[in-house]
Structure 1
Amino acid sequence: MKKSLIALSLGGLTIGITEFVMMGLLPDIASDMKVSIPVAGYLISSYALGVVIGAPLLVILGRNFPPKKMLIILALMLTVFNSLSIIAPNYNFLFASRFLSGLPHGAFFGVGAVVASRLADKGKEAQAISIMFAGLTLANLIGVPIGTYIGHHFIWRYTFILIAFVGLLTLLFISLWMPNLEKNGDVNMRTQLQFFKKTEAWLIIGITAIGFGGLFAWISYIAPLLINISKFSPEDVSYILILAGLGMVVGNFAGGKLADKYLPAPTVLALLFIMVLDLLMVYFFSFNQYVSLFLTFLTGAISFSVIAPIQMLMIKTAKDAEMIASAALQGSFNIGNALGAFLGGLPLAAGYDFASPNLIGVVMAVTGMIITFTLMQKHKANLQLQRA
């Protein structure tokens, strides 16, 4: 495996812990900040909003930087902004620090995805991208459970010290291992922004923001689901999250292989359908502890298997605008993050149980399927026009 891809994977590890550890820490932060769990859930939405704003903005500002320099700047931002959460004196400060932490997320993965595809061997572009996202899955396998354990047994702020440390490692190894790739000339932003005039671009954004949001309706409230529905103790949550992380690792690499072997759009459609069935099972059967453990693994695997196919779908659609398109895709994932956390919290605020967010996830995944089918029909119509 190329060291440069490992450096990108470390960035994914930093981002993965930053993004997903909040789900496991929600009860601890809610208690410490004296807010309800649904209000604490807005910290997830705050981070996602930072990603949505930062992804296109930072790519535009750094469009003429060499890729290595851009990645170093983004890794530095990840480290500094996450450090602010260590000293947050109140909920509003923490809300702001989470927003700032999200700013470099989308740009890092957007730039990183294009760099990974340039570094990949021919025909293995999706697998190279999946190596970068492996850091995100390893975060859920190792980093998030460790961070959750620290938050439950010590102080949740210590978790952000861990994140800052991993961020420093990312900065170091990008500096040491990333080759000095040439930038693709001076980037004309008018040409880049033409991408957003394509209907296909907005359909892919919709698939990601709404369909993938089903994952976040589940994982945003996984800790109270496991505690209140499956009747696990709070101390068990950090260990159970390892299962979710293991599933994400398996799903991520499986998705990379699927994306290199099959057309991405039908692959995304099939995986979203499987996600619908899975979330229904989570809703109906999480009361059984053994089934709940299995579904925690399965949901992680299914959800993350979608990432590489949809990333390749976006890159293939965005000819000559791959970097801003990839960044926009990361913003879309985190619109899904914000929507899943917010919409999933609505039935909780209305008094329904902690399994109810999964029904919101089902509706979001079904909507993603409908948009994917619409995209496939448009591709089919375009192909017929080209043959005519």
Structure 2
Amino acid sequence: MSLLTHLRARIPLLALTVGAFGIGSTEFVIMGLLPEVAADLNVSIPSAGMLVTGYAMGVVVGAPLMAAALSRAPRKGSLLALMAIFMLGNLLCAVAPSFGLMMAARVFTAFAHAAFFGMGAVVAADLVPRDQRAKAMALMFAGLTLANVLGVPGGTALGQALGWRYTFAVVAAIGMVALVGIAAVLPRMPALASPGLAQEFRVLRDPRVLLGMAMSALSAASLFAVFTYIRPILSNVTMVTDSGVSAFLLLFGVGLTIGNIAGGQLANHRPLRLIRIVFFLVVLVMAAFTYTSHSYWPAMLTLPLWGALVFAVVPPLQMRVIDAAHNAPNLASTLNQGGFNIGCASGAYLGGLAIQSGVPYSQLPWVGAALALAGFGLSFVARAQDRKHGRTQAAQAQREAAVFAH
């Protein structure tokens, strides 16, 4: 690839990265502002945590609806429409006068989430040669990780200083930057040839696609069962000051970025093995966090390691679903984001349920460990399914060869 061609591919990817940065910021920054939002809207912290669940469920519901609405639309126009929804939703969050309206605004914003990441991942892969697809998708998802390096700590600090509503107004402004960038530099890309939405949804009959989505869901559930309540964990268990929380979130975001880059580099080589190893290591780190969360420096070392692991699995899981659903990549990629957010909603709900049942914040990581262990077990089911699919494909190839020989 020449330098000019390389740059032409990377500039549109950066526009997608800015969009991912904005979406990641609005999804994750609520965790850093949970006490402020709860106090302002007159609800408890676990109740405010339902804003995380509501957003995630908005992604889940929005995934098939937006996939249906945009299935035949040009991809550039679709991405611009999604960023417009994102901007409006965040502006509504910034002015919401009550918890109910805040929840409605979060759900509306979430409708853009799955379709943007799903379609954006396929667009990113199409902008580069085949052997660089995982890296291209990792670059787009780097926006999501950078949101945790810059967006979440910065948004948390801004919300603590000026009020949480200013944070959502700034996120809306980031959406405007992404919209202008996509309009200016993304090439026109027609809609992918489609046999029809009903035909595309048949991809969900493939166990490999469903298993990939299930592992995405468990990965997210393991993360959000704990990370949704990271602010009270750091404040009440680790005894970190409000200003120190932003530093801890920054370290977590650095870990996410490193993990995303590493996952993108390794995803093209034995991705399922990488997924299995990461799930197992997350179990160990979550178990360790029940002890390290009690001390400042051990907790500070644990958070970036945890972040690196949870996002190292994102590129291989996304690649797995897209490759298994080669006849409907946009739909499968979008629905995989829906699966991820089923995990987000479930994890946030289970974490809140554990707290309301009397589980102390220091023991909450055991919930994340149990969910990661379930993902580890499911990876072995996925390996068996891959082998079965390989034998089926080999037998079919032999039959076709025999027919051709005769």
What TM-score, normalized by structure 1, do the two folds share? 0.97
Q: Distance in 1 between matches of 2:198 and 2:66?
A: 16
Q: Distance in 2 between matches of 1:205 and 1:61?
A: 21
Please, which of 274, 278, 281 is the counterpart of residue 271 of structure 1? 278
Residue 154 of structure 1 corresponds to which residue in structure 2? 162
Q: Distance in 1 between matches of 2:392 and 2:207?
A: 16
Report matched runs for 1:324-343 at 5 Å.
324-343=331-350
Change over 3 Å in CA distance of 1:67–1:187 after alignment to 2:
farther
Change over 3 Å in CA distance of 1:185–1:316 after alignment to 2:
closer
Displacement, 1:173? 0.2
User: Does the residue aligned with 2:155 lie in a helix, a strand or coil?
Assistant: helix
Displacement, 1:44? 0.2
**Are 2:83 and 2:178, in contact at CA under 8 Å, matched by a contact in 1?**
yes
Give the aligned residue type for 1:347: A
Please, which of 283, 288, 291 is the counterpart of residue 284 of structure 1? 291
Displacement, 1:239? 2.0
User: Does the residue aligned with 1:99 lie in a helix, a strand or coil?
Assistant: helix
Residue 182 of structure 1 corresponds to which residue in structure 2? 190
**Are 1:212 and 1:364, in contact at CA under 8 Å, matched by a contact in 2?**
no
Report matched runs for 1:1-388 at 5 Å.
1=7, 2-260=10-268, 262-388=269-395
User: Does the residue aligned with 2:359 lie in a helix, a strand or coil?
Assistant: coil
Displacement, 1:190? 2.1
**Are 2:294 and 2:362, in contact at CA under 8 Å, matched by a contact in 1?**
no
Displacement, 1:96? 0.8
User: Does the residue aligned with 2:131 lie in a helix, a strand or coil?
Assistant: coil
Q: Distance in 2 between matches of 1:43 and 1:187?
A: 37
Q: Distance in 2 between matches of 1:116 and 1:139?
A: 19
Q: Distance in 2 between matches of 1:62 and 1:122?
A: 25
Where has structure 1 moved over 6 Å in runs of 4 or more? none
Q: Distance in 2 between matches of 1:169 and 1:234?
A: 30
Unaligned runs of 5+ in 1: none
Tell me the matched-pair count. 387
Q: Distance in 1 between matches of 2:248 and 2:177?
A: 27
Displacement, 1:60? 1.1
The 10-residue stretch of structure 1 (331-340 or 207-216) with the greater mean CA deviation from structure 2: 207-216
The 10-residue stretch of structure 1 (346-355 or 125-134) with the greater mean CA deviation from structure 2: 346-355
**1:153-188, Cα deviation, whole Å (9 max, x unpaired):** 221000001101000001100000100012223551
Give the aligned residue type for 1:192: E
User: Does the residue aligned with 1:320 lie in a helix, a strand or coil?
Assistant: coil
**Are 1:348 and 1:356, in contact at CA under 8 Å, matched by a contact in 2?**
no
Unaligned runs of 5+ in 2: 1-6, 396-406
**Are 1:212 and 1:368, in contact at CA under 8 Å, matched by a contact in 2?**
no
Displacement, 1:352? 2.1
User: Does the residue aligned with 1:123 lie in a helix, a strand or coil?
Assistant: helix
**1:299-346, Cα deviation, whole Å (9 max, x unpaired):** 111111110010110011001110000001101111111111100112
Work out the percentage of aligned pairs sharing the same amino acid: 37
Displacement, 1:33? 1.4
Give the aligned residue type for 1:268: I
Give the aligned residue type for 2:333: S
Q: Distance in 2 between matches of 1:215 and 1:323?
A: 25
**1:190-210, Cα deviation, whole Å (9 max, x unpaired):** 221110111222211211112
What TM-score, normalized by structure 2, do the two folds share? 0.93
